Chain A
Amino acid sequence: MSTPTVNAPPPGAVRPEPEVRAATRRVKPPKLTWRRALRRDWQLYSLAILPLVFFLIFRYLPMLGNIIAFRRFQPGGSVFGEYWVGLRYVKMFLNDPTFWEVFTNTLILGGLTLMICFPLPIVLALLLNEVRTRYLKRFVQSVSYLPHFLSIVIVAGMVMQILSVDGIANQAVRAFGGDPVSFLQEAGWFRTIYVSSEAWQTVGWGTILYLAALTTIDEDLYEAARIDGASRWRQTWHVTLPGIRPTMVTLLILNIGTFMAVGFEKVLLLYNPLTYPTADVISTYLYRVGIVSGNFSYAAAIGLFEALIGLTLVLSANFISKRTVGASLW
């Protein structure tokens, strides 16, 4: 098992690469025209039709559907709206104080999640890597992967049970002589609850790629470090961590890409009007504005803004990491 490929062949880039390869693999005329390619591979292309129809309808059509952010939309009317209204909805949310509140909340919640839930799997993987007893390591791994398989609804249900007035969290509070806290009703607690339940569910599973990367580190490097008199701590610092760096960078970029989309479903399940001041994020706000209240155009404008920020984030993270550490997604 190798680490995620650094400088991998670009998965998304549109290049004439297949042509070149085709030419070298098969002894064929150097230039493969579309007509000839279709005649030779029409059966392969035919297999791609249904999936392409899927992508077109359910992925690219909604992207076009964002046009309603600039048009007047009427339920039951055209999917692409009735007439142009220009930047009216964009101006509307830029002047909406609630928007800026949820925008800030999104940044804070996303930032906290990234700060806690990105490094913890690395720490856990390093700790697991030091466990020499095989079956113990297996056991801890199996247990820690488990929450990953649960529905977000179940996780939210557990959180609510644990944090309810009669739950185990408040039993602990009472044991230390405190008064019961209704955690889920208090805005001040929401971020802690969100981030820690996120950690509970994702940290174990997050170690998989790191553990795989750790096994690929050349044992000779440790040997060499030992001969140079490096302590275990220094071995970890100078051999282990550089060894898993490509994995860290890749996962960091991917995490940054989902930064804006902070667990929409979980927030939706856990928040309530009392916790809106800290819990309401862009995605839940646009859900309420759009689906619940029916202001589709306004919500679409917010959604488009969010998606564009997400795309920008991932592209710039990728660009920066390519320049600085030479690792990138494509």
Chain B
Amino acid sequence: MKRQKVTRGYRIFQVVNAVVLTGVVVVTLYPFLNIVARSFSDQANVVAGKVNLLPKGFNLNAYEEVLSDSLFWTNYRNTLFYTFTATVIAIVLTTCYAYVLSKPQLKGRGILVGVAVFTMFFSGGLIPNYILVTSLGLKNSVWAIALPNAISVFNLLVMKAFFESLPSELEEAASVDGLSTYGILWRIVLPLSKAIVATMVLFYAVSFWNSWFSAFLYMDKQELWPVTVYLRNLIAGATSTAFGGNAVTEGAEALQVGATVKAVAIVLTTLPILLVYPFIQRYFVSGVMLGAVKG
């Protein structure tokens, strides 16, 4: 994009722009670096407020403390298990429904789309959902996490938009050759849709990996928690803010003991996301844009 000759004003703008964007990068990364530095520092320096971007009094005690906590590992395993189960269910249901919705000749398609889209703007709310999940007996099981969130309407619309963009001739040819609808979906459509399925898997997996509230609400035993709830309870300290505890009456001593441990827990839960981030980012971007085109 070549535009007009570079004026003085524009040159000033470019400098300002560079400064602003650098600021954005710094502000985004600073908290990460600070938490990492805290996690490697010794307690005394952290409590004295001396740790900024570099660790002070480098040591791995806090890491040892967290990594030797068997609950941490149990909860991490739970996160993996919940994420896997919930993602599989979500992908199957979303793919089936999106495929159905992508067929323009289907009678009643408008109603089927409407059933899904309406839930984007109106929902039953926390209390009825809680009563429902409890009375279905789903508490303390993976189903409490997986089933109520099985279809995200946004993801559904993204996938529907993708299926609609596939040329219909292929499917028509396959149907002439005697393939059933299931056969067409399984053997023609899905092999062509690997990219979108991968994107959907990532969308769902990241959201289930990050979720905590369903588990917080429905898991009564600590050995059933995902790691996000483990982290939540750690950072909330002994007193629970959510249940109206009073953080001030908590001894300053007790709060400080956890300072580096909290940082370590944050680092260790962020790490998997950071590791896969460079590889998944572009799928996310393309997925969001696909959703926007037709959304």
Contacts and interface: CB of A to CB of B under 8 A. Distances in A.
Contacts of B247: 184-185, 272, 274
Contacts of B284: 145, 149
**Interface core residue of A11, A158, A299 (most chain B CB under 10 Å):** A11
A259 B6 CA distance: 43
Contact of B117 (A11, A168, A231): A11
Interface in B233-251: 235-236, 241-248
**Interface core residue of A1, A2, A14 (most chain B CB under 10 Å):** A14
Contact of A63 (B114, B122, B266): B122
Given A272-B247, A303-B127, A310-B121, A154 B266 contact: yes
Contacts of B100: 44-45, 47-48, 51
A152 B210 contact: yes
A283 B273 CA distance: 29
Interface stretch (A15-23, A92-100, A105-113, A187-195): A15-23
Interface stretch (B64-72, B104-112, B190-198): B104-112
A151 B28 contact: no
B289 A208 contact: yes
A129 B43 CA distance: 44
B241 A51 contact: no
Interface string B9-29: 110011001001100110111
Contacts of A37: 106-108
A56 to B, nearest CB: 9
Given A79-B131, A168-B34, A151 B293 contact: no
Interface residues of A, number: 123
A85 interface: no
Contacts of A60: 119, 124
B35 interface: yes
B147 interface: yes
**Interface core residue of B128, B132, B288 (most chain A CB under 10 Å):** B128
A269 B293 contact: no
Contact of A14 (B14, B111, B129, B278): B111
A62 B129 contact: yes
Contact of B131 (A44, A68, A167, A265): A68
B131 to A, nearest CB: 6
Contacts of A161: 31, 34-35, 38, 259, 262-263, 266
B210 A143 contact: no
A252 B66 CA distance: 43
B45 to A, nearest CB: 9
B211 A151 contact: yes
Nearest to A212: B289
Contacts of B4: 226, 232
Contacts of B259: 161, 164, 166
By secondary structure, the B interface counts as helix
Contacts, number: 339
A21 B108 CA distance: 12
Given A63-B124, A157-B266, A300-B127, A25 B105 contact: yes
B141 interface: no
B25 to A, nearest CB: 5
A52 B127 contact: no
Nearest to B125: A303
Contacts of B206: 149
Nearest to B120: A257
B96 interface: yes
Interface string A145-165: 111011111101110111011
A153 B228 contact: yes
Contacts of A220: none
Given A13-B114, A48-B112, A79-B135, A140 B127 contact: no
Interface string B82-95: 00000000001110
Contacts of A8: 294
B277 A146 contact: yes
Given A66-B124, A131-B21, A158-B35, 4 more contacts: A3-B292, A150-B273, A208-B289, A286-B126
30 contacts: A1-B292, A5-B293, A16-B110, A18-B105, A44-B100, A44-B106, A48-B96, A60-B124, A62-B128, A62-B129, A62-B132, A130-B14, A146-B277, A150-B210, A151-B210, A153-B231, A157-B235, A157-B262, A158-B32, A160-B235, A161-B259, A162-B31, A167-B34, A232-B3, A247-B292, A265-B213, A274-B248, A288-B244, A300-B128, A303-B127
Interface of A: 1-5, 8, 10-19, 21-22, 25-26, 32, 34, 37, 41, 43-45, 47-48, 50-52, 54-55, 57-66, 68, 73, 79, 124, 127-128, 130-132, 139-140, 142-147, 149-154, 156-158, 160-162, 164-168, 170-171, 174, 180, 184-185, 200, 204, 208-209, 212, 219, 222, 226, 231-232, 235, 247, 257, 265, 268-274, 283, 286-288, 290-292, 296, 299-300, 303-304, 306-307, 310-311, 314-315
Interface of B: 1, 3-4, 7, 9-10, 13-14, 17, 20-21, 24-25, 27-32, 34-35, 38, 46-49, 51-52, 92-94, 96-97, 99-100, 103-132, 135, 147-148, 150-151, 157, 180-182, 185, 206, 209-213, 217, 228-229, 231-232, 235-236, 241-248, 256, 259, 262-263, 265-266, 269-270, 273-274, 277-278, 281, 284-285, 288-289, 292-295
